Chains A and B, each alone.
Chain A
Amino acid sequence: DAKTTQPPSMDCAEGRAANLPCNHSTISGNEYVYWYRQIHSQGPQYIIHGLKNNETNEMASLIITEDRKSSTLILPHATLRDTAVYYCIVRVDTGTASKLTFGTGTRLQVTL
């Protein structure tokens, strides 16, 4: 089962920042938060990941709360091509392997 909770859908105007929230209240101290997105009919695409500190790359920023129970993915200037399902994932480690368990995600619709 996914360890994350996300709103099922969100809208964002093109050019504005899209802030996608995620709750992971049962996260353990060494578990990473990952974000992937899936544009219609394509394979999932990695966006960003983090453990405790905020992270930024060319695609997005990841803000993780101090207690690590929630995080927010920020797309600073959303475009129509950012319309996709965004998955927040807590990576579960089993000792010899780890798994990315995808939940239902947030469907982000970017509009003109």
Chain B
Amino acid sequence: DTAVSQTPKYLVTQMGNDKSIKCEQNLGHDTMYWYKQDSKKFLKIMFSYNNKELIINETVPNRFSPKSPDKAHLNLHINSLELGDSAVYFCASSQDPPYTSTDTQYFGPGTRLTVL
């Protein structure tokens, strides 16, 4: 069973389109995250939700809107896609909120987004 899953694995789209990436975890974790890994392989946190509440919101354009319908899901919707949005997006989850001693994060396999 996949602990953290993402769909789709690959996403190719035109500039200006709106797209969503879905993430689900079956670990019973309370906290979920979105990270972006660009072409230079830098991995940066974008958002974090704890019990469906937004707790980390990095300097991300407001074209990116996370949605957490329940604790097991954290989807990422992107409006008006731009060339610079091309990257691999990773979802992750952890048992505890990200200010406890454990905070071991489990990552999904990633979604490779290509904007043409």
Residues of B within 8 A of A (CB): 4, 41-45, 48, 55-56, 90, 92, 97-99, 101, 103-110
Contact = CB atoms under 8 A, between A and B. Distances in A.
Contacts, number: 56
Given A93-B99, A98-B103, A99-B98, A44 B43 contact: yes
B99 A42 contact: no
Contacts of A94: 99
A25 interface: no
Contacts of B105: 36, 44, 46, 100
A104 B106 CA distance: 19
Contacts of B44: 101-102
Given A45-B107, A49-B104, A97 B98 contact: yes
A38 B42 CA distance: 12
Contacts of B106: 46
Interface of A: 32, 36, 38, 41-46, 49, 51, 85, 87, 91, 93-102, 104
B109 A42 contact: yes
Given A96-B55, A99-B56, A43 B90 contact: yes
B101 to A, nearest CB: 7
B91 to A, nearest CB: 8
Contacts of A43: 4, 90, 92, 107-110
Nearest to A105: B41
Contacts of A45: 107
Contacts of B107: 43-45
